[in-house]
A and B are shown apart, each in its own frame.
Chain A
Amino acid sequence: MSAHHNHQDQDVLIEKLGYDDHFHEHHEGDKYQMNFLTKYIFSMDHKIIARQFLFTGIFWAIIGSAMSIIFRLQLGFPDASIAWLKPLLGKWITINDAGMGSLEPEFYYALVTMHGTIIVFFVLTAGLSGTFSNLLIPLQLGARDMASPFLNMLSYWFFFLSSVVMFYSLFLSTGPFSGGWTGYPPLSALPQASIGSGAGMTLWLVSLALFVVSVLLGGMNYITTVLNLRTKGMSLWRMPLTIWAFLVTAILGLLSFPVLFSGFLLLIFDRSMGTSFYLSDIFVNGMALDRIGGSPILYQHIFWFLGHPEVYIIILPAMGIVSEVLSVHARKPIFGYRAMVYSILAIAFLSFIVWAHHMFMAGVNPFISNFFVIFTLIIAVPSAVKVFNWISTLYGGNLRMNTPMLFCIGFVSMFISGGLTGIFLGNSAIDIQQHDTYFVVAHFHIVMGVAAFFGMFAGVYNWFPKMFGRFMNDTLGKIHFWCTMISAYAVFGPMHFLGMAGVPRRYYRFDNFEAFSGFDVMNQFITIAAIFGFMAQLVFVVNFFWSMYKGRKVTEQNPWGSNSLEWTTPIDAGHGNWPGKIPTVQRWAYDYGKDGIEYTQQHVPLREGEEHSSH
């Protein structure tokens, strides 16, 4: 019996066993996408909204990483002239009498701050979870769309507004906010604290408040859709791991972003109403402020109560995507499906009780720190379970070494390398030496920056055919992968040594410090590797947009031979995803290589004598 189902077999199966929800009999379904504006701009179709999130994410990724190249130039070559950047950066480059152009220190801080804000929130939260939750939740669950397509559209447009505000703040004459992406008071609370703390900070807060609204609207939809709109037969234990990851991510976002919002609100009051939630004993230019009794640590608690779940909001979708794509291209069921689900849940639970490990050196009671150390280290357990399962899935698989697969393997590599250094940093005693050094920078860039990007790339390469009906170029993809992999390690590997030597992060230059002045060659190396890595991303961008119009066309419904339901829709799926009935689910998502059959899609009923795979 052939495992290969062509178009007609598929449609016959859906027709025979599908669930008729009379969707196409209601005209609200098909008719509302009448013109260009409602179809492509103010669309309520989750597939279009997914692409909107992706495009906006790519836009921000280019800006965010270009910023890092500019400050890396400063760190690697502090004495080289960057007068050539004057046309782009204007007054932020000062040129001395000798014609030497150098970066204004204030703007260096603004670049570091914006790089963090943009990548964490706009790229790896909205761009990653926004894109793939929107695309895959309805498609993989057999739903026509999200529970509330209207709120879903609002979710994107709030993100868009938030983006516009943040983008505008880059062009203020006083520059964008420059007090670090965490926005700690007093730098963030006092407009007179630095030039970026004035209008730049106001716009930063407005932008992120809008962003929180976007996340909440999106998250409400994701959770409700997963729990209520699954097709018949799709029990929770039959869902692909992508959906589990998106579900838990959305729950994390819904519980943690309101807390961030409350912290921001108190900050706004401190900035504009004269309150003292976070301010006390402040001297500006030798004059004492009359704001007393506030606690800057309070802000840190509130911020990191979001901030720590936020790193899992970033990495869980990537984990889900990797689990699914890895299994598809290894032609093997994911190893330890239930263990994967339980470890996602365990990570999510633990993420709420470890926040103070970001504050070990901020004056928190060291006895309380012990509590946070223990739970932080326990996160290593579910993380290790996941790593073990990914490697076991690869073991003995019939691996297709295409671009999505390479990025999945790259993800596992990055997650291991970055995760191990987390065990060091989770100890409050070791943190005395390591905190605020390049060791921290190396750790989180590898484990949640590069790793999350790899998950995102795996997803883009894998679902590009579903999004645009064409493939991305695989050769360019492989060039993209290898260059990114090598440069990522070349950038962040040496940073561990800098950090162990105590080199602090966020400094503008090091040559005034005897202890840190021996690292200029290493810093140059890192900068060159970063430039190389940035160029590699341009390969991706070119490949992406070229393939949208000129890529090889998808000719079969299920080009990867994948089991999940998104590949039972027509190649260019219209509104409502399935033209007739919606498929019903007969089995779990990972029947690869079962009974000698390469793959069996989820809507295919059990063959005679076949039993459900135990999982």
Chain B
Amino acid sequence: MPVVQIFDKELAPSKIQALKFGLWIGMASIVMLFGAFTSAYLVRKPVGNWYEFKLPIQFFYSTLIIIGSSVLLEKAFKSFRSHDLKNYQLFMFISFFAGIAFLATQVIAFKAMISQGLFIDLNVSVSFLYVLAGMHALHVIGGIIVMIISLTTALAVRPLINEMNILKLDLLRQYWHFVGALWIYLLIFLILQ
């Protein structure tokens, strides 16, 4: 089924496609937001007065955690669609806690930085790291909030499998993969720089 009903004029208007497509547009604007941050980084760096420092090791742990969380959510979605409710509930919960663990790891990473004296106003290179990881964390928190709402479905004794609930989980899944990929992009960007 095409996501966008652009050229097929006989297709009836579809609300479901509209919601899926709306999410994509939202993600496009998030891409522009982080594109702007990383472009600013690239423009600012050659100006000089740039403090070099090592990325905290915790960022690599958190990367593994968020990848794991994504894989589990994918499994939860597949289980839900194939009516395997037990696995669905299990995977949903582990994925959710992995999401929390990701945020906790990010906090630990920043605590480690602060203990090394890498404060936000030390140098603009450090400031950028705070902004990038901080804004990313806000988008993860947005995903966590949706996950909590989604868990209320999962918590039910017999979760209702219908088109609407599948759609909701699908949207959550896509967004979650997106913020995961966004983090991997930021990490690779920071390593290369």
Contact = CB atoms under 8 A, between A and B. Distances in A.
Interface of A: 19, 21, 143, 147-148, 151, 216, 219-221, 223-225, 227-236, 238, 254-259, 261-263, 265-266, 269, 273-277, 280, 292-295, 298, 301-302, 305, 585
Given A257-B29, A269-B127, A229 B15 contact: yes
B21 A224 contact: yes
B25 A220 contact: yes
Nearest to A294: B124
B33 interface: yes
A214 to B, nearest CB: 13
Nearest to A259: B36
B178 interface: no
Contact of A147 (B19, B47, B121, B135): B19
Interface in B99-129: 120-121, 123-124, 127
A280 B22 CA distance: 41
A262 B47 CA distance: 20
A151 B25 CA distance: 14
Contacts of B21: 223-224, 227-228
Interface string B8-32: 0111111101110110011011101
Given A232-B12, A276-B124, A258 B18 contact: no
A274 B35 CA distance: 24
A532 B75 CA distance: 69
A275 B134 CA distance: 15
B7 interface: yes
Contacts of B12: 19, 21, 232
B121 A275 contact: yes
Given A275-B121, A277-B127, A258 B22 contact: no
Given A220-B26, A302-B36, A273 B13 contact: no
A249 to B, nearest CB: 14
Contact of A277 (B25, B26, B44, B50): B44
B5 to A, nearest CB: 5
30 contacts: A21-B13, A147-B15, A148-B19, A148-B22, A151-B22, A220-B22, A220-B29, A221-B22, A223-B21, A224-B19, A224-B25, A228-B15, A228-B21, A229-B14, A230-B9, A232-B12, A254-B28, A254-B29, A257-B29, A258-B32, A258-B36, A259-B35, A263-B40, A265-B131, A274-B120, A275-B127, A277-B127, A293-B48, A293-B124, A295-B44
A233 B12 CA distance: 9
A236 B9 CA distance: 8
A305 B36 CA distance: 9
B7 A236 contact: yes
Given A273-B120, A295-B44, A232 B50 contact: no
- Pairs of residues from A and B, 6 with the lowest C-beta to C-beta distance, nearest first: A293-B49, A274-B121, A262-B36, A258-B33, A228-B18, A147-B18
Given A259-B33, A269-B127, A293-B50, A230 B22 contact: no
B9 A233 contact: yes
B29 A216 contact: yes
A235 B9 contact: yes
Contacts of A259: 32-33, 35-36
A266 B19 contact: no
B126 to A, nearest CB: 9
A265 B135 contact: yes
B6 interface: yes
Contact of B43 (A21, A235, A298): A298
Interface size class of B (residues with CB under 8 A): 35 or more
A228 B14 contact: yes
A266 B22 contact: no
Nearest to A224: B22
A273 B120 CA distance: 7
Nearest to A147: B18
A397 B47 CA distance: 59
A265 B12 CA distance: 42
B120 A275 contact: yes
Contacts of B35: 259
Contacts of A221: 22
B40 A223 contact: no
A295 B43 contact: yes
A301 B180 CA distance: 29
B167 interface: no
Nearest to B17: A228
Given A227-B5, A229-B18, A263 B36 contact: yes
Contacts of B55: none
B33 A277 contact: no
B13 A143 contact: yes
Nearest to B3: A228
Contacts of B25: 219-220, 223-224, 254
Given A232-B12, A273-B120, A276-B127, A292 B18 contact: no
A228 B29 contact: no
A302 B42 CA distance: 12
A236 B6 contact: yes
A235 B33 contact: no
Contact of B6 (A19, A227, A254, A262): A227
B4 interface: yes
A294 B41 CA distance: 11
Given A19-B12, A261-B33, A277 B47 contact: no
Contacts of A143: 13
A538 B89 CA distance: 63
A254 B43 CA distance: 23
Contact of A298 (B19, B33, B40, B48): B40
Nearest to A216: B29
Most-contacted residue by chain A among B33, B34, B48 (CB, 10 A): B33
Contacts of B19: 147-148, 224
Contacts of A258: 29-30, 32-33, 36
A340 B184 CA distance: 42
A298 B47 CA distance: 10
Nearest to A280: B49
Contacts of B22: 147-148, 151, 220-221, 223-224
A365 to B, nearest CB: 12
B55 to A, nearest CB: 19
A231 B40 CA distance: 43
A597 to B, nearest CB: 24
Given A228-B4, A230-B5, 5 more contacts: A220-B26, A254-B32, A259-B36, A275-B124, A302-B36
Contact of A225 (B18, B30, B32, B50): B18
Nearest to A142: B13
Contact of A224 (B18, B40, B44): B18
Nearest to B49: A293
Nearest to B50: A293
Contacts of A585: 9
Contacts of B44: 277, 294-295, 298
Most-contacted residue by chain B among A143, A262, A292, A294 (CB, 10 A): A262
Nearest to A146: B18
B29 A302 contact: no
Nearest to B5: A228
Most-contacted residue by chain B among A143, A224, A277, A305 (CB, 10 A): A224
Contacts of B49: 280, 292-293
Contacts of A19: 12
Contacts of A262: 33-34, 36-37, 40
